[in-house]
Amino acid sequence: MGEEQVSAVEAVELEKVYYGAVPTTVLRGINMRVEPGEFVSVLGQSGSGKSTLLNCLGALDRPSAGHVRVAGQDLARLDDDELADLRNSQVGFIFQAHYLQDEFTCLENALMPVSIRKGNPGDEDLARVTRLLERVGLGHRLRNRPPQLSGGEQQRTAIVRALANEPRLVLADEPTGNLDSASSEQVFSLMREINQETGVAFIMVTHDDRLASQGDRILRIEDGLLFEE
């Protein structure tokens, strides 16, 4: 028998409590596992814990209890510097707001994770990211800055940025929330195609049932509890 495949991400009894004047429990004993190549949609109302779940899975926030493993690495065993390295090398993030830097070109924005990791992108990195931008229809926009791009073009740039370091996992938090319906469909289709072509696992938080249904699985989060549909 072959070795068991390492999950892209796994959560075991994951809990998150925010301690204030009144402690607030946001995640309650969540168990989930996403394999390489899967596209998983997470549905839930505002305040249900969707973004908190992504933050814990992507090492942006530490859980109060339980374990998260990304590509087999237990995040609880890593210090802050090691977590930062893992985020940069293993996880890509796509947010509702694209967070592009207006002073940099489309290509420079897409290369940002590589620049953070290596200092100066090499020829191979430059060629790979350029190919990705061409793949998402931005080959003619490489030297344009974000204010010169449409909302859909900015979000496509953000998708390529998330893939720049060839991560195992991409976490997308309402990635089409600021787009019109046509751009939303285009951006989602691109994410799905890249997922199927590269084998990178995607977890997409959305409130759009129609888009969610086009993934491999739907998980629903309610009051900090996770259910599979």
Per-residue pLDDT tens over the stretch 114-123: 998 888 888 9
Q: Taking a C-beta distance cutoff of 8 angstroms, is the pair 224, 68 a contact?
A: no
Q: Taking a C-beta distance cutoff of 8 angstroms, is the pair 228, 218 a contact?
A: yes
pLDDT score recorded for residue 185: 86
Per-residue pLDDT tens over the stretch 129-149: 999 999 889 999 999 999 999
Residue 77: pLDDT above 90? yes
Structure tokens, 211: 């888009």
Integer Cα distance of 8 and 94 in angstroms: 17
pLDDT score recorded for residue 167: 92
Instruction: Report, as an integer, the average pLDDT of 202-214.
Output: 91
Instruction: Give strand pairing partners of 19.
Output: none
Instruction: Report, as an integer, the average pLDDT of 82-90.
Output: 91
217 φ/ψ angles, rounded to the nearest 5 degrees: -145, 155
Residue 102: pLDDT above 60? yes
> Which of 225, 199, 168 has the alpha carbon at shortest distance from 43?
225
Integer Cα distance of 87 and 57 in angstroms: 10
pLDDT score recorded for residue 184: 85
pLDDT score recorded for residue 1: 44
Residue 5: pLDDT above 80? no
Nearest-10 crossing angle of helices 123-135, 151-163: 140
Q: Taking a C-beta distance cutoff of 8 angstroms, is the pair 179, 95 a contact?
A: no
Largest CA distance in the chain: 54
Structure tokens, 81: 């510097």
Domain ranges of the chain: 9-228
Does domain 9-228 fall into CATH 3.40.50.300?
A: yes
Per-residue pLDDT tens over the stretch 36-73: 999 999 998 888 889 999 999 999 999 999 999 999 99
User: Can you give the pTM of this predicted structure?
Assistant: 0.92
Q: Exposed (0-12), middle (13-18) or buried (19+): which is 20, by Cβ within 10 Å? A: exposed
Structure tokens, 25: 């429990």
Integer Cα distance of 45 and 23 in angstroms: 21
pLDDT class for 4, splitting at 50, 70, 90? low
Higher-scoring residue by pLDDT: 176, 138 = 138
Structure tokens, 171: 């976490």
pLDDT score recorded for residue 172: 94
Average pLDDT, the chain: 91
